[in-house]
């Protein structure tokens, strides 16, 4: 996978102003660096324990050796400077791996910088001008690689956060059948557009599955009721009525009632109640049930 969109490899290279002479200079740097790669990696793994997540990343036996081999393969591929679809796919895979093992981007950037400094120290032959060109070309390709890795890393992390948010939203909006043909949803927290849509989808699905006739939405735990929240409530009640289910809203405190009046929100389409008990009594009446005290 990869969230970076380029029509082809030429477009990708052009985005970083990488030309064929740049790639050739990277190969020249590789001819200097690769013979000393094992020694440079030894320095790298002496530096690595200074990173805060070192202990958690390399806790399992054998993970260090596997990481060293993967890193060696990566740099050999990098200095071959053959940017192709396979090359890009390898960088996407690297970003996925870093995201899944929990390596922070700050550690990734620090590691790339550490390696760049070591590579720069190897560029000694040739004139000052040629060394400067080699460093520039090396920097360009490193930036391309870093972008591909970070974009993929960010895409996976954002996807994971979205999945967690959806799961939390589903957990925070449990529609429960409290009596035959009567559903209840207590809402706690903030109602935004995304959550309102999730609430509506959950309610409508539950109504369709249970063929309920009354739905109670208790908002006594809602943090803020403003015009946006009120509009969300109106839309939800309209949608439930289209499904043949009467919607009741309970938990309107004096403060919420005053806020709604001050905002001038039309609540004629919403059946509101001060307490959940009042809403329950109305729900029982609507389904033909009565309450008898013993």
CATH homologous superfamily of 9-166 equals: Globins (1.10.490.10)
For domain 176-286, give its CATH number from 3.30.750.24, 1.10.3210.10, 3.60.20.10, 3.20.20.60. Answer: 3.30.750.24
Q: Where are the domains of the chain?
A: 9-166, 176-286
Per-residue pLDDT at 3 = 43
User: Would you state the pLDDT for residue 7?
Assistant: 52
The phi and psi torsions of 60 (rounded to 5 degrees) equal: -75, 140
Tens of pLDDT, residue by residue over 140-172, are: 999 999 999 888 888 877 776 666 555 555 555
Q: At residue 5, does pLDDT exceed 50?
A: no
Cα(92)–Cα(79) distance, rounded to whole angstroms?
Answer: 18
Residue 56 has pLDDT above 50, yes or no: yes
Q: Which of 266, 206, 274 is nearest to 240 (CA)?
A: 206
18 pLDDT higher than 90:
yes
CB 57 within 8 Å of CB 63 = yes
Choice among 1-15, 108-122, 160-174, 195-209 with the minimum mean pLDDT: 160-174
């Amino acid at each position: 996978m990869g969230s970076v969109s380029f029509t082809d490899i030429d477009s990708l290279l052009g985005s970083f102003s990488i030309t064929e002479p740049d790639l050739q200079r990277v190969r020249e740097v590789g001819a200097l660096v690769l013979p000393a790669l094992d020694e440079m990696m030894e320095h790298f793994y002496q530096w690595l324990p200074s990173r805060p997540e070192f202990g958690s990343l390399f806790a399992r036996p054998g993970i260090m050796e596997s990481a060293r081999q993967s890193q060696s393969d990566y740099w050999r591929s990098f200095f071959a400077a053959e940017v192709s679809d396979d090359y890009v796919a390898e960088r996407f895979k690297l970003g996925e791996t870093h995201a899944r093992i929990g390596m922070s981007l700050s550690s990734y950037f620090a590691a790339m910088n550490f390696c760049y400094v070591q590579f720069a120290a190897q560029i000694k032959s040739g004139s000052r001008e040629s060394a400067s060109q080699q460093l520039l070309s090396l920097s360009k390709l490193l930036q391309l690689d870093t972008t591909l890795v970070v974009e993929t890393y960010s895409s996976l992390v954002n996807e994971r956060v979205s999945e967690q948010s959806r799961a939390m939203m589903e957990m925070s909006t449990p529609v429960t059948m409290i009596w035959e043909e009567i559903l209840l949803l207590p809402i706690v927290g903030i109602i935004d557009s995304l959550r309102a849509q999730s609430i509506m989808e959950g309610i409508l699905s539950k109504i369709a599955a249970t063929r309920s006739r009354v739905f109670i939405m208790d908002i006594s735990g809602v943090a803020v009721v403003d015009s946006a929240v009120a509009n969300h409530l109106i839309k939800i009640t309209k949608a439930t009525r289209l499904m043949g289910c009467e919607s009741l809203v309970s938990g309107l405190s004096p403060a919420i009632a005053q806020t709604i009046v001050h905002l001038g929100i039309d609540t004629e389409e919403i059946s509101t109640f001060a307490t959940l008990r009042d809403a329950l009594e109305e729900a029982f009446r609507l389904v033909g049930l009565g309450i008898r005290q013993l």
